[in-house]
A and B are shown apart, each in its own frame.
Chain A
Amino acid sequence: MTHTVLVTGVARHIGARVAGALAADPGIGRVIGVDTVPPPALTRDGGALLGRTEFVRIDLRTPEIAQVVSAEDVDTVVHMSLVSEPAKSRSAMMEHNVIGTMQLLAACQRSATVRKVVVRSTTAVYGSSPHAPAVFTEDTEPVDVPHSGYAKDAIEVEGYVRGFARRRPDVVTSTLRFANLMGPRVDSPLTRYFAQPVSPTVFGFDPRLQFVHEDDAVEVMRRMTLEDRPGVFNVSGDGVLLLSQCVRKAGRTALPVPSPAFGMLGMLARTAGLVDFSPEQLALMSHGRVVDTTRLAAALAWRPKFSTAAAFDDFLQSRGMGADRPAALVDWLSGLATRR
């Protein structure tokens, strides 16, 4: 069967990689990539990244998307355009995420050809709270619902996706909640955080973190697009790292800051437009978040290649980071102790 797959968000690295992976599949007829801006890959190194993906530049917040869906007989929609940080302003980001999804789903609901929708979401929808269970499954009711930033957008997006799945039960709808992406080419607030020489942490808290390697993220999206697995799935590498452990592995220095001051630092970074630092990030840096991935493993009969720790190590290696100096110090000490 020849598919025509529409991929949104191809201007960003992970979206482009998913489009490229689908384009490399001989079972798929056409891959159409859309985004608000042209992918930088087209002009630079990454013609190879996108492969035979056909790029169409449209504003996702407008009904233009409906024309593409109907004109090209799209049967599978892969929605990857959720952004986690504001390019211009927070309200523009919200519009891009929420209004963009509404337009896309409106087009899918009208379409007679679309039979599958795969949406990339985030585990941020669970929030982070001292009142929440340690491990979230897909059915866990969030205790403290995030009410700002990216997490709020993702919750609203998932709400619209649920509504769509209800109205079009004949369409296979899969929602994937990704843990934080990690890998050599990932550029996120978290990877930039670890690149700093000093890592501010919330005093007295050591959150549990989980990462999913970019290769695994691409593979999950690819498999979900090719197989029919309706439902909501958590996606993360196996295992857990504590923030203190990440900082040590990266060879960075932790700077514990009392939580009100940490919040203020974050606000400064936010106003400077560096990152979208919402109260949810403060909660994540205090209480952490771990999800259960057994449902995904059972549905796809597949496990991520990289564990959380392996994904982080791969990221560190690509950046030439590591705990060489502290390790050398301890080795010097052991040298002294054993030479006696």
Chain B
Amino acid sequence: MNEIPASETPSGEGARIIPISSVRGTPPPGPSNSVDERIAELLALLRRRVVGDYEVDEFGFDPELNDKVLLELIRPIYRHWFRVETLGVENVPAESGALVVANHSGTLPVDALMMQVALHDEAHRAVRLLGADLVYQLPVLGHLSRKTGHTLASREDADRLLRKGELVGVFPEGFKGVGKPFSERYKLQRFGRGGFVTSAVRAGTPIVPCAIVGAEEIYPKIGDFSTLARLLGLPYLPITPFFPWLGPLGLIPLPSKWLIEFGEPIRTDKFDPEDADDPMLVFNLTDQVREAIQQQLDALRLRRGPAFPPFF
């Protein structure tokens, strides 16, 4: 039986109180735990959630909900559906601030979720992604995004996170990347206005180029209901070989094989923070990052081979 001191049990209560502090104070137990301890832990978690005894940061990031609930839900997809392999984790700083810049693809931003699991599980860091404001206008999606640590792609938020030494992630291609047709797979689109470079230079944090291979094949976009999309205020409404023909079934992503690679960091601390206002430097650095990711992508794609091994 589980030995939890019941000294703090308030009188007049039939139920036993598990002191939260004692459970929380212990280091995270290994997988070899007894079932009882697991249950006690789960109940302590439930109690904290029910009485609101947890902390969120100023961006709305709820680490407990993220680690204990949301990531647990995504992890099976990462491990078993896409069989993601993550490479070059040593290029991600262990503690200090850095800006991860990745290619964006897959019609729905599943790549963002997989990158989050990769960085959490392999690099033990919570990535703070900068998302489009469309996300924050939508119900459910907006607040889930904040609770998992992400925020709006704005200069203020990017600067603030980098100053705090957080690991920030961006997809500079934006909708152009995630919504591009299948025929243009693995071709990097234009990189916005280089705002991410400006923020990195201002904070003096390294830029870690990241290539994600596999997301392009999950929903091959072969067409677009552009008029309907405009009516709904969406950037695009995709047609894939299975959507909308199979209805909700068409929303199941194809199980492509994924590789995520973090490349060698590009340092920005050799520049002066004021250099962030030099457009030429920003353009050049943006191109350098884009070049690096494209090369990484090409090499990684060769290395992966067929998208749906062992068939094709």
Query: Chain A residues with Cβ under 8 A from B59's Cβ?
Result: 134-135
From B40, B51, B142, A205 is in contact (CB under 8 Å) with B142
Complex Cα spacing A130 to B155, Å = 14
Tell me whether A83 is interfacial, beta carbon within 8 Å: no
Residues of chain B within 8 A of A332, CB atoms compared: 14-15
B152 within 8 A of A: yes
Q: In the complex, what's the smallest C-beta–C-beta distance from A215 to chain B, in angstroms?
A: 22
The answer to whether the Cβ of A44 comes within 8 Å of any Cβ in the partner chain is no
**What are the interface flags for A311-331 relative to B under an 8 Å C-beta threshold, 1 for contact and 0 otherwise?**
000000000000100111111
Q: Are B50 and A323 in contact (CB under 8 A)?
A: yes
**Distance to closest chain A CB from B282 (angstroms):** 20
| Cβ A338 vs Cβ B16 within 8 A | yes
Whether A298 is near chain B, meaning CB under 8 Å from some CB there, is no
Identify B60's interface contact among A204, A242, A327, A330, CB under 8 A: A242
Beta-carbon contacts of B122-156 to A below 8 Å, as 1s and 0s? 00000000000100111111110011000110111
Contact across chains for B151 and A134 when beta carbons are under 8 A apart: yes
Q: Is the CB of B157 within 8 A of A135?
A: yes
Known: A204-B140, A206-B143, A259-B139. A330 touches B43 (CB 8 A): yes
- Give A229-279 interface residues, CB cut-off 8 Å to B: 239-242, 244-249, 259
A245 touches B54 (CB 8 A): yes
B30 within 8 A of A: no
Q: Which one of A204, A249, A333, A338 contacts B51 once the chains associate, using CB atoms below 8 Å?
A: A249
A contact residues around B15 at 8 Å (CB) = 328, 331-332, 334-335
Whether B58 contacts A290 by the Cβ 8 Å rule is yes
* Chain A residues with CB below 8 A from B44, complex form: 334
**Does chain A have a CB within 8 A of B274?**
no
Contact of A130 among B54, B56, B136 (CB under 8 A): B136
- Enumerate A101-148 residues with CB–CB distance to B below 8 Å: 130-135, 137, 140
Chain B residue contacts of A335, Cβ below 8 A = 14-16
B51:A208 contact, CB within 8 angstroms: no
Could you tell me the distance between the alpha carbons of A330 and B43 in the complex, rounded to whole angstroms?
7
Question: Are A323 and B51 touching (Cβ within 8 A)?
Answer: yes
A338 and B60 contact, Cβ closer than 8 Å, known pairs A134-B157, A245-B52, A332-B14: no
Interface centre among B46, B133, B139 (most CB of A within 10 A): B139
Q: Is residue B193 within 8 Å, beta carbon to beta carbon, of the partner chain?
A: no
| Minimal Cβ-Cβ distance residue in A for B139 | A204
A330-B58 CB under 8 A given contacts A204-B143, A246-B52, A248-B51? no
Measured between alpha carbons, how far is A309 from B4 in the docked complex, in Å?
28
User: With the chains together, A239 CA to B160 CA distance in Å?
Assistant: 15
Is A323 a contact of B151 with CB atoms below 8 Å? no
Q: B17 at the A/B interface (Cβ < 8 Å)?
A: yes
Interfacial residues of chain A within 288-310, with CB under 8 A of chain B in the complex: 288, 290, 309
As a 0/1 sequence over residues 8 to 40 of chain B, the CB contacts with chain A under 8 angstroms (1 = contact) are 000001111110000000000000000010011
Knowing A135-B59, A205-B143, A246-B52 touch, does A287 contact B136 (C-beta < 8 A)?
A: yes
Which residues in A have their C-beta under 8 angstroms from that of B4?
338
Contacts of A334 in B (CB 8 A): 15-16, 18, 40, 43-44, 47
Identify the closest chain A residue to B59 (Cβ): A134
A16 → chain B, closest Cβ, in Å? 32
What's the Cα separation between A206 and B146 when bound, in Å?
A: 9
Distance A327 CA – B16 CA, assembled complex (angstroms):
11
With a CB–CB cut-off of 8 A, which chain B residues contact A309?
55
- Whether B2 pairs with A338 at a CB distance below 8 angstroms is yes
Whether B152 pairs with A133 at a CB distance below 8 angstroms is: yes
**B44, B46, B155: which has the most chain A beta carbons within 10 Å?**
B46
The residues of A that contact B141 with a CB separation of less than 8 Å are 204
Question: Which residues of A sit under 8 angstroms from B40, Cβ to Cβ?
Answer: 334, 337-338
B302 at the A/B interface (Cβ < 8 Å)? no
Determine whether the beta carbon of A326 is less than 8 Å from that of B51: yes
Please give me the residue from chain B that is nearest to A203 by CB atom: B139
Distance (Å) between the CB of A34 and the closest chain B CB? 38
**A331 lies within 8 A of B51 (CB):** no
Expressed in whole angstroms, the Cα–Cα distance for A246 and B156 within the complex equals: 27
CA distance A287 to B145 in the complex (A): 13
Complex formed: what's the CA distance from A295 to B18 in Å?
Answer: 41
Q: What are the residues of chain A within 8 A of B142 when measuring CB–CB?
A: 130, 204-205
Which residues does chain A contribute within 8 Å of B52, judged by CB atoms? 241, 244-249, 323
B136 shortest CB reach to chain A, Å? 4
Can you sample 30 A-B contacts with CB below 8 Å?
A130-B152, A131-B133, A132-B154, A133-B152, A133-B155, A133-B156, A134-B58, A134-B151, A135-B157, A202-B139, A204-B143, A206-B60, A208-B146, A239-B55, A240-B58, A245-B56, A248-B49, A249-B52, A290-B58, A323-B50, A323-B52, A326-B50, A327-B50, A330-B46, A331-B15, A332-B15, A335-B16, A337-B36, A338-B4, A340-B1
Question: Which residues of chain B have a CB within 8 Å of any CB of chain A?
Answer: 1-2, 4, 13-18, 36, 39-40, 43-44, 46-47, 49-60, 62, 133, 136-143, 146-147, 151-152, 154-157, 160
Given contacts A131-B133, A327-B50, could you give 5 more A-B pairs where the C-beta distance is less than 8 Å? A131-B152, A204-B140, A330-B46, A331-B13, A338-B16
The 3 A-B residue pairs with the shortest CB-CB distance, nearest first, are A204-B139, A248-B52, A133-B156
Residues of A within 8 A of B (CB): 130-135, 137, 140, 202-206, 208, 239-242, 244-249, 259, 287-288, 290, 309, 323, 326-335, 337-338, 340
